[in-house]
Amino acid sequence: MPRFSRPIPGGLCVHVVTRGNARATVFHADDDCATFRQLMADAQRRVRLEIFAWCLMPNHVHFVMRPRADGDLARWMHWLLTAHVQRHRVRHKTTGRIWQGRYKAFPIQADAHLLTVLRYVERNPVRAGLAMHAVDWRWSSARESASSSHDLARVITGTASLAVARLGRHAVDGRRACRHPRAARNVTAHSGEASWTREVADRLDLLGTLRPRGRPKVKCRLRPSGEIAVSNGGVLS
């Protein structure tokens, strides 16, 4: 993923994904997940963000969050992943890269689109066959929000907007919950209305990424005889 030419601005909701190098397993046991979760709380004490949802999978991590100020997301993620790599190398006696390049951050419009992404993130373990229900997966916000008395859950998600809870993030049928906005397969794999998407892309200097990848398909071709040959899926007629 290309680096943003500008930092993620404060107040913008984003879906953050980071994967293990070559999609290798990062969390080998519950102790690995517990360590990472504690580091999340430590990162919150250093740079406070709104974290609406999170989920630790064996080889990747999802966050849905909103930084308060420009650059807060980069500072938060840099500290978290650096601290985790150090502890991972000591515990597993490894060298080399743990995470696959830089994390990806997809802007989200703070309306029903946000709820769609929340459901997608918290239902990752269900789709992967790791749990029957989202709340059954120990290493996610779905589980901890169901038992909000947990001290660490309050540290991590305590600043998240109560409006998210009022909108019923878990009240959804299975098929709809598994949907995710995959239409844009580029750096701006966004969740939002077209006008909002363009405005955000303009702010982040990413308008060029809204164009389809590759060369435009040839719709027609002029033959030497002067006739126009129409191309349909690569076949001339």
What is the CATH architecture of 13-236?
2-Layer Sandwich (3.30)
pTM of the model: 0.74
Task: State CA 38 to chain mean position distance.
Answer: 20
The CA distance from 166 to 34, in Å, is: 29
Mean confidence (pLDDT) of the chain:
77
State mean pLDDT over 42-69: 95
Q: Where are the domains of the chain?
A: 13-236
More confident: 194 or 97 = 97
Contact, 103 vs 81, CB < 8 A?
yes
State mean pLDDT over 200-210: 73
